[in-house]
């Protein structure tokens, strides 16, 4: 597959950065700790684990761990300053979880080095038992960049570590397809995009636009292989329909 050009990759990333900066509060308020798209991963998270949460948003996974999996060491990273600030505020009330939040953009090639420089205890000696990326990959333009994010996360895993990822199945339901808008709204030439790239609107607290890519089971397999990982299992959960998100457990290939 031809690689998306760098200028278009940056335009799509900038589109989503603008969205999350503008709608951080509304977005955070729409994501509860009891959301099945979050709680469905609990069976894969042991107590006292070291957990990396990529695209952590307002840190709701840390709150869930504190309630359901005491004793975890948690690091959340996100590119949106307002969401990181809210996550830190919420983490002040944690009783059973050591949580740290770092503002980083995982689409930057240097994010792993920046994280280990900021948090020396996540270097070679103390890696993660589990890396989590919920509703992240579909906001990353270009197949190879999505694969690199997974490969970067795998670099931070302990020898028996694994990844948990989820992506939206927004094309599977009429309710979500109603959110699709034409790329002409942001002056983007569709011929420069990948198949499966869409523009979706948001209508809480105003109107916003986000780039999303439809990652299906076949692409998840491909992304895992490109990132040096293998799909252990998949399942679906979340949304009114109960299957709005596709989840995958990924293991590093030996």
Q: Half-sphere exposure (CA, 13 Å, Cβ side) for 107?
A: 22
pLDDT in tens, 115-143: 988 876 665 557 999 999 999 999 999 99
> Alpha carbon of 225 to those of 5, 144, 150, 154, 221: distances in Å?
23, 11, 10, 12, 6
User: Which residue, chain included where needed, has tokens 């329909």?
Assistant: 241
d(CA 245, CA 66) in angstroms, rounded, equals 24
Q: Which helix (H) or strand (E) holds 103?
A: strand 98-103
Q: Crossing angle for the helix pair 81-91 and 60-68, nearest 10 degrees? A: 20
Pick the CATH number of 6-252 from 3.40.50.150, 3.40.640.10, 3.40.50.300, 3.50.30.30: 3.40.50.150
Please indicate, yes or no, whether the overall pTM of this predicted structure exceeds 0.85: yes
How confident is the prediction along the chain (254 residues), in pLDDT tens digits per residue? 567 999 999 999 999 999 999 998 887 776 678 888 899 999 999 999 999 999 999 999 999 999 999 999 999 999 999 999 999 998 999 999 999 999 999 999 999 999 988 876 665 557 999 999 999 999 999 999 999 999 999 999 999 999 999 999 999 999 999 999 999 999 999 999 999 999 999 988 889 999 999 999 999 999 999 999 999 999 999 988 999 999 999 999 97
Identify the CA nearest to 57 among candidates 132, 140, 117: 132
């Amino acid at each position: 597959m031809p690689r998306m050009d760098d200028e278009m990759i940056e335009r799509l990333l900038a589109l989503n950065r603008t969205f999350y900066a503008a709608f951080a509060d509304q977005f955070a308020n729409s994501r509860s700790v009891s959301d099945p798209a979050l709680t469905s991963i609990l069976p894969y998270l042991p107590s006292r684990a070291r957990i990396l949460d990529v695209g952590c948003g307002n840190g709701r996974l840390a709150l869930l761990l504190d309630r359901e999996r005491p004793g975890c060491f948690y690091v959340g990273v996100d590119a949106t300053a307002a969401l990181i600030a809210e996550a830190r505020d919420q983490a002040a009330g944690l009783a059973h979880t050591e949580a740290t939040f770092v503002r980083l953009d995982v689409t930057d090639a240097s994010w792993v080095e920046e994280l280990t420089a900021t948090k020396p205890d996540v270097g070679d000696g103390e890696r993660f038992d589990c890396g989590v990326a919920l509703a992240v990959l579909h906001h990353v333009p270009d197949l190879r960049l999505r694969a690199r994010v997974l490969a970067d996360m795998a670099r931070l895993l302990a020898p028996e570590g694994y990844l948990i990822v989820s992506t939206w199945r927004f094309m599977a339901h009429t309710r979500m397809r109603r959110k699709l808008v034409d790329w002409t709204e942001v002056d983007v030439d569709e011929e420069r995009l990948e198949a499966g790239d869409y523009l979706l609107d948001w209508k809480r607290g105003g109107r916003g636009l986000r780039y999303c890519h439809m990652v299906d089971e076949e692409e998840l397999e491909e992304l895992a292989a490109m990132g040096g990982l293998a799909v252990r299992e998949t399942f679906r959960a979340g949304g009114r329909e109960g299957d709005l998100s596709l989840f995958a457990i990924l293991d590093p290939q030996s």
